[in-house]
Amino acid sequence: PAVRFRRSLQDVEVRERGMAVLECEVPNEGIPTAWYLEDQRLQPGGKYGIEQKGTRRRLTIQDVGADDDGVYLCEMPDGGKSIAELAVKGKIVKKLPRKLDVLEGENAVFCVEVEEENMDVHWFKDGLKLRESHQTILKSFGKTHILVFVNVFHGDTGVVTFVVGRSKTSSRLRVKAARHSPPICPVGVEMDVDRPNSVLLSWEPAPTSQTTTRSVYVLERQEVGSQDWLRCATSDTATSAEVMGDSVPCEGDYRFRVCCINKYGRSGHVEFPKVVHLVPGPKISTPLQGCEVTEGEDALFSIDLSVMVTGTWFLNSTQLQDSQRYSIQQAKTQHSLVIHSTKVEDHEAEVTFIANGVRDSAVLKVQAAVVKFSPMSESDSNKRVETGDPVVLYCEVSHPSARVGWFKDGVELQVTDGLNIQSEGNMRRIVIQSAEFTDSGVYTCETMGDIIKFNVEVEGPPVQFSEVPEEELQKSAMELDPVVLTCEVSREDANATWYKDGVEVQASDNITIQTEGTMRRLIIRCAETSDAGTYSCQSGDNSLSFTVNIKEPPVMIVEPKEDVVMEGHISEQVVLQCELSRSSGKVHWFKDGLQVLETENVQLTSEGPYR
């Protein structure tokens, strides 16, 4: 038995920053002793003073802090112990544990209580001040302060310190790796073989299996007579799997087994009790290939299977039937589809073949054909017909499937009662059954890469002039008066041209040429003598002539308005003067009824309107 202490340690209570003394007495002064703070052996130094005098043993603790609070032991070699508790009174009422052991993935929680609320506190880890983050939580509730490390890992090991004023308490955080084991074998395996060419396998997880670690069930098959087990299915959560005959490489009898795998290992295998006979379905030996063709060409798709089965073809999800456009054939294990006379609309279409357990697709690409027109003769591209005659415009394209558009004066033409648009092979044609004058114009046949032009002129019936009274054909007017020449043609669309003495008349400031319906009119606003002559209006091969006479107005003596009596002396000069209404007017001077002629003594002058 252990020797008893002569005098045991006594509990001690001291203030923070003070000095604590623990003392006991052993039975014999030669007995050595060792001092412990809980499980930590103390060594003499600046913090701890260890003394022995005779049978007395003393431990002195300098500058006592919150971390010095705890249970102290004095132990003799034979195992005898004396225990006492040191209580430290200060700002920290509840200190941190000396150490905290946490498994990886768990949360580490530290809690401290201080003597007052609203105290300025700080947390540190390995000397670095902590700040709140997604992994570090700092909370305060009155006098209680909490630190939480979320989802710790081995690297979080270290010393955590709480500081309030000059007081502090520390704890050593130790993160330990969790102990894991491989998964446990599944249980309750069952087989449902009452299915055509398939088997349903089911199992249950072991009742004691871990649910916190992700596990995967692995199903394997073995053909009877073979030594190899091959994986055929995996599942995270499902506890059943159906194995189809299509999934095996060849016909035969198969057995199955299942196991569970996680990151820590693999369970043992559990074999299913029965054997099932499975037959594989068809496989693709030669898959579909994409096809690129030019518009109008045929597109061929083919697929070869491992066994002879029937199949179905689809174009953009629409099931195809053998027809004039689609040729569907099967030669043993080979299936083919021909799309005749492809169109630009078929570009990027998806062709799909489906058979029992087989599906494959490919894309059809159709390039627009480069279309050109064959050269046309002059007579074919310039048409001149009479009203009521048919008009046929035709051209030849380089590709029979080429699409063209017909236009007249830039406006696209559509089929009407009198207009047919035709397409035969490489020929493109429009037919106007009965041409009218309004059908005249420029026609074009246009495709993506080319254009060809036709000029069509439809001649109307001859233009006739309506009868005009004789007085309208003979026009007389005074100079400066207006002159209007009017005639009527038989068609509103008739072109008419005015001529004077064989020279075409052009509109000017003084001459206006008007067309109103069937009326044709020439207006001279202010006639001059030079405007006199023969005028004609010509339309087609017919014309109508007018004679225009322009008369000058009579010359009048403007000044003086009355007879003038003049008196003079012999040898004096006598000047007689009058003003005419027109400068071009001619005058004669008379004296006593006899005409006066110019002599050395008589001068006759003309200056503007003055005589």
> Is the pLDDT at 520 greater than 80, yes or no?
yes
In which band, very low, low, confident or very high, does the pLDDT at 583 lie, cut at 50, 70 and 90?
A: confident
Residue range(s) in the chain whose domain bears CATH number 2.60.40.10? 12-89, 92-176, 187-278, 284-367, 378-459, 470-551
CATH of 92-176 given 3.90.320.10, 2.60.40.10, 3.20.20.140, 2.30.110.10: 2.60.40.10
In which band, very low, low, confident or very high, does the pLDDT at 352 lie, cut at 50, 70 and 90?
A: very high
pLDDT in tens, 193-234: 888 889 999 999 888 766 667 789 999 999 999 999 999 999
What pLDDT, on the 0 to 100 scale, is given for residue 111?
A: 95
What pLDDT, on the 0 to 100 scale, is given for residue 212?
A: 61
Find the mean pLDDT for residues 338-351: 91
Beta bridge partners of 544: 537
Across the beta sheet with 441-446, the strand order is 382-386, 451-459, 441-446, 405-408, 411-412
Residue 339: Cβ-neighbour burial (10 angstroms; 0-12, 13-18, 19+): buried
Buried residues in 387-418 as b, exposed as e (16+ CB within 10 A): eeeebebebebebebbbbebbbeeeebeeeee
What pLDDT, on the 0 to 100 scale, is given for residue 38?
A: 85
How far is 174 from 159, CA to CA, in rounded Å? 9
In which band, very low, low, confident or very high, does the pLDDT at 388 lie, cut at 50, 70 and 90?
A: confident
* Alpha-carbon Rg for the chain in angstroms: 63
Find the mean pLDDT for residues 450-464: 86
The H-or-E segment that residue 543 falls in is: strand 542-551
For residue 375 the two structure tokens come to 């050269």
In which band, very low, low, confident or very high, does the pLDDT at 58 lie, cut at 50, 70 and 90?
A: very high
> Is the pLDDT at 386 greater than 70, yes or no?
yes
Comparing CA positions, the residue from 416, 414, 459 lying closest to residue 435 is: 459
- The residue type found at 522 is L
Q: Alpha carbon of 73 to those of 59, 131, 262: distances in Å?
A: 10, 38, 48
Peptide bond into 97 cis (omega under 30): no
What pLDDT, on the 0 to 100 scale, is given for residue 181?
A: 75
Check if CATH label 3.30.565.10 holds for domain 378-459.
Answer: no
What pLDDT, on the 0 to 100 scale, is given for residue 154?
A: 87
Q: To the nearest whole percent, how much of the chain has pLDDT over 70?
A: 99
> Is the pLDDT at 2 greater than 70, yes or no?
no
How far is 25 from 30, CA to CA, in rounded Å? 12
Q: Which of 247-251, 358-362, 411-415 has the lowest mean pLDDT?
A: 247-251
Beta bridge partners of 23: 58
How far is 394 from 456, CA to CA, in rounded Å? 13
Residue 542: Cβ-neighbour burial (10 angstroms; 0-12, 13-18, 19+): middle
Q: Could you please state the CATH topology (level 3) that the domain comprising 470-551 is classified under.
A: Immunoglobulin-like (2.60.40)
In which band, very low, low, confident or very high, does the pLDDT at 445 lie, cut at 50, 70 and 90?
A: very high
Q: To the nearest whole percent, how much of the chain has pLDDT over 90?
A: 44
CATH number of 187-278: 2.60.40.10
Higher pLDDT, 12 or 565: 12
Residues contacting 598, CB < 8 A, separation 6+: 604
- The CATH architecture to which 12-89 belongs is Sandwich (2.60)
Buried residues in 544-576 as b, exposed as e (16+ CB within 10 A): bebebebeeeeeeeeeeeeeeeeeeeeeeeeee
In which band, very low, low, confident or very high, does the pLDDT at 565 lie, cut at 50, 70 and 90?
A: confident
Q: Alpha carbon of 517 to those of 318, 360, 460, 487: distances in Å?
A: 62, 73, 16, 11
pLDDT in tens, 135-189: 999 999 999 999 999 998 888 999 999 999 888 888 999 998 777 778 888 899 9
What pLDDT, on the 0 to 100 scale, is given for residue 348?
A: 92
For residue 78 the two structure tokens come to 């034979």
Comparing CA positions, the residue from 41, 44, 77 lying closest to residue 58 is: 44
Beta bridge partners of 243: 199
In which band, very low, low, confident or very high, does the pLDDT at 339 lie, cut at 50, 70 and 90?
A: very high
How far is 7 from 424, CA to CA, in rounded Å? 129
Greatest mean pLDDT range, 121-125, 371-375, 459-463, 493-497? 121-125
> Is the pLDDT at 63 greater than 80, yes or no?
yes
- The CATH architecture to which 284-367 belongs is Sandwich (2.60)
What pLDDT, on the 0 to 100 scale, is given for residue 147?
A: 94
- The residue type found at 541 is D
Q: Which of 199-213, 258-272, 419-433, 475-489 has the lowest mean pLDDT?
A: 199-213
Beta strands in 166-298 (DSSP E): 167-176, 187-192, 198-204, 216-223, 230-235, 240-244, 252-262, 265-266, 270-271, 276-278, 284-286, 291-294
Average pLDDT along the chain = 88
> Is the pLDDT at 244 greater than 70, yes or no?
yes
What pLDDT, on the 0 to 100 scale, is given for residue 598?
A: 87
User: Contact 104/154 with Cβ under 8 angstroms?
Assistant: yes
Q: Tell me the CB-side half-sphere exposure of residue 246, using CA atoms within 13 A.
A: 10
What pLDDT, on the 0 to 100 scale, is given for residue 279?
A: 84
> Is the pLDDT at 302 greater than 90, yes or no?
yes
How far is 327 from 295, CA to CA, in rounded Å? 18
Higher pLDDT, 36 or 604: 36
Residue 129: Cβ-neighbour burial (10 angstroms; 0-12, 13-18, 19+): exposed
